[in-house]
């Protein structure tokens, strides 16, 4: 397949011409090169390369290298057209697109079926429209996962156990949630978190088991884990609207399909790693506390105030759209 890209020359006569050439595109993501984010990105690159008969190659930059380690900057740079693709999670986009926090509202989701009903349904489409207003063309949803809490001080069984713990968090909503739980949260880049945990700068963190805790070896520097499922975080692949509009219809279809296949694969391997994850973490020496229904009710109650604050920020109509879809799934 030949890639046709429309190039506008800024000459007096504003001529429009179409050329064919091989091109390298840059993809940024903000986890390490062993994660399912990386594997999904690798699969996407492989499929696009094959689908374009080698005309398009994608170079992958892990650890938010292209934004100097600033994981929240990636989406903005893609929106402006200075990076071609991003694989990142919803929480990282909230400074640019606050509505993206809707996915991660505390205890919005109870299980994967509910998650899939929203990403595959009207809520996912609505979020794609909102991202488009910021110059981001959504290609496909993948999975970071349910974010579970770890720390080095003691098992977390009740909200009281979070009191005074120094917690690293990824984004502004989690600051409010951790404050509501009585913890001492601080926002920190993911790439700086391992050494901060190792050196005791922070006591704990929260991340999904299959996508992050296992491949990034968080168990080497954390003793206790509580799978409390307090917040879900999707990932996605997006390109800039500029790139998207510059591709002919065949190229657009090929790229959209590659992204869909890559994220389906990424979601599958993430869920597999998560399913066997707690056993693996125990074998690595972590102590697991599985919360009871009563514990979960207490965590839900304790995070109700930040839920309401952030529901108002993202917009109640959007929250209703998500809740209605979840209720009928």
CB 18, min distance to ligand X2X, A: 38
Q: Which of residues 221-260 bind ligand X2X (CB under 6 A)?
A: 233
CA 170 to chain centre: 11
CB 39, min distance to ligand X2X, A: 15
Q: How far apart are CA 329 and CA 323, in angstroms?
A: 10
Nearer to ligand X2X, 161 or 233 (CB): 233
Nearer to ligand X2X, 254 or 314 (CB): 314
**Interface pick for ligand X2X out of 3, 102, 105, 170 (rule CB under 6 A):** 170
Three-point CA angle 24, 251, 30, nearest 5°: 50
- Can you give the three-state secondary structure of 11-63, one letter per residue? CCCCCEEEEECCEEEEEEECCCCCCHHHHHHHHHHHHHHHHCCCCEEEEEECC
CB 144, min distance to ligand X2X, A: 5
Contact between 133 and 115 under an 8 Å Cβ cutoff? The reply is no
Contact between 82 and 32 under an 8 Å Cβ cutoff? The reply is no
Nearer to ligand X2X, 31 or 251 (CB): 31
Question: What is the Cβ-side half-sphere exposure of residue 70, based on CA atoms within 13 angstroms?
Answer: 9
Nearer to ligand X2X, 105 or 256 (CB): 105
b (16+ CB within 10 A) / e for 84-107:
bbbbbbbbbbbebbbbbbbbbbbb
Strand pairing class (23-29; 56-61) = parallel
CB 117, min distance to ligand X2X, A: 22
Indicate the SS3 state at residue 151: strand
CB 89, min distance to ligand X2X, A: 4
Window contacting ligand X2X (CB under 6 A); options: 87-95, 114-122, 260-268, 321-329: 87-95
CB 67, min distance to ligand X2X, A: 12
User: Going residue by residue from 297 to 326, which x/- string records binding to ligand X2X, judged by CB under 6 A?
Assistant: ------------------------------
Tell me how far apart the terminal alpha carbons of the chain are, to the nearest angstrom: 40
Residue 155: which residues within 8 A CB-CB, separation 6 or more?
161, 224, 226, 287, 289
**Interface pick for ligand X2X out of 91, 100, 180, 262 (rule CB under 6 A):** 91
Q: How far apart are CA 213 and CA 205, in angstroms?
A: 10
Q: Is 190 in the site for ligand X2X (CB under 6 A)?
A: yes
Contact between 310 and 176 under an 8 Å Cβ cutoff? The reply is yes
CB 312, min distance to ligand X2X, A: 23
Strand pairing class (224-240; 85-89) = antiparallel
Q: What are the φ/ψ torsions at residue 74 (nearest 5 degrees)?
A: -60, -50
**Interface pick for ligand X2X out of 207, 222, 231, 246 (rule CB under 6 A):** 207
User: Going residue by residue from 9 to 38, which x/- string records binding to ligand X2X, judged by CB under 6 A?
Assistant: ---------------------xx-------
Nearer to ligand X2X, 56 or 105 (CB): 105
Nearer to ligand X2X, 63 or 241 (CB): 63
Nearer to ligand X2X, 38 or 92 (CB): 92
CB 247, min distance to ligand X2X, A: 28
Q: Which of residues 95-154 bind ligand X2X (CB under 6 A)?
A: 144
Q: Which residues bind ligand X2X (CB under 6 A)?
A: 30-31, 71, 89, 91-92, 144, 170, 190, 207, 212, 233
């Amino acid at each position: 397949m030949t890639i046709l890209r429309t190039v506008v020359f800024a000459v007096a006569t504003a001529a429009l011409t179409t050329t064919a050439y091989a091109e390298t595109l840059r993809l940024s993501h903000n986890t390490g090169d062993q994660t399912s984010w990386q594997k999904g990105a690798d699969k996407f690159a492989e499929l696009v390369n094959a689908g374009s008969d080698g005309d398009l190659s994608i170079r992958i930059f892990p650890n938010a290298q292209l934004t100097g380690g600033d994981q929240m900057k990636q989406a903005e740079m893609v929106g402006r057209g200075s990076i071609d693709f991003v694989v990142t999670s919803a929480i990282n986009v909230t400074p640019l697109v606050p509505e993206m926090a809707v996915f991660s509202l505390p205890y919005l989701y109870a299980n994967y079926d509910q998650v899939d009903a929203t990403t595959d349904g009207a809520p996912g489409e609505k979020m794609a429209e909102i991202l488009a207003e910021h110059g981001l063309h959504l290609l496909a949803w993948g999975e970071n996962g349910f974010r579970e809490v770890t720390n080095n001080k003691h098992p977390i069984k009740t909200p009281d156990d979070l009191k005074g713990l120094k917690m690293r968090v990824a984004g502004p909503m989690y600051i409010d949630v951790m404050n509501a739980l009585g913890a001492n949260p601080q926002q920190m880049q993911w790439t700086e978190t391992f050494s901060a945990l190792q050196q005791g700068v922070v006591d704990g963190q929260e991340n999904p088991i299959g996508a992050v805790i296992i491949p990034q070896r968080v168990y080497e520097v954390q003793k206790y884990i509580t799978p409390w499922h307090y917040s879900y975080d999707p990932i996605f692949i997006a390109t800039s609207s500029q790139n998207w509009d510059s591709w002919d219809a065949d190229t657009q279809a090929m790229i959209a399909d590659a992204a869909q296949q890559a994220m389906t694969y990424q979601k599958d391997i993430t869920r597999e790693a998560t399913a066997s994850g707690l056993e693996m973490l125990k074998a690595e020496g972590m102590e697991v506390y599985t919360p009871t229904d009563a514990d979960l009710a207490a965590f839900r109650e304790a995070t109700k105030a930040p839920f309401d604050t952030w529901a108002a920020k993202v917009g109640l109509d959007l929250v209703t759209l998500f809740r209605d879809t979840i209720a009928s799934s």
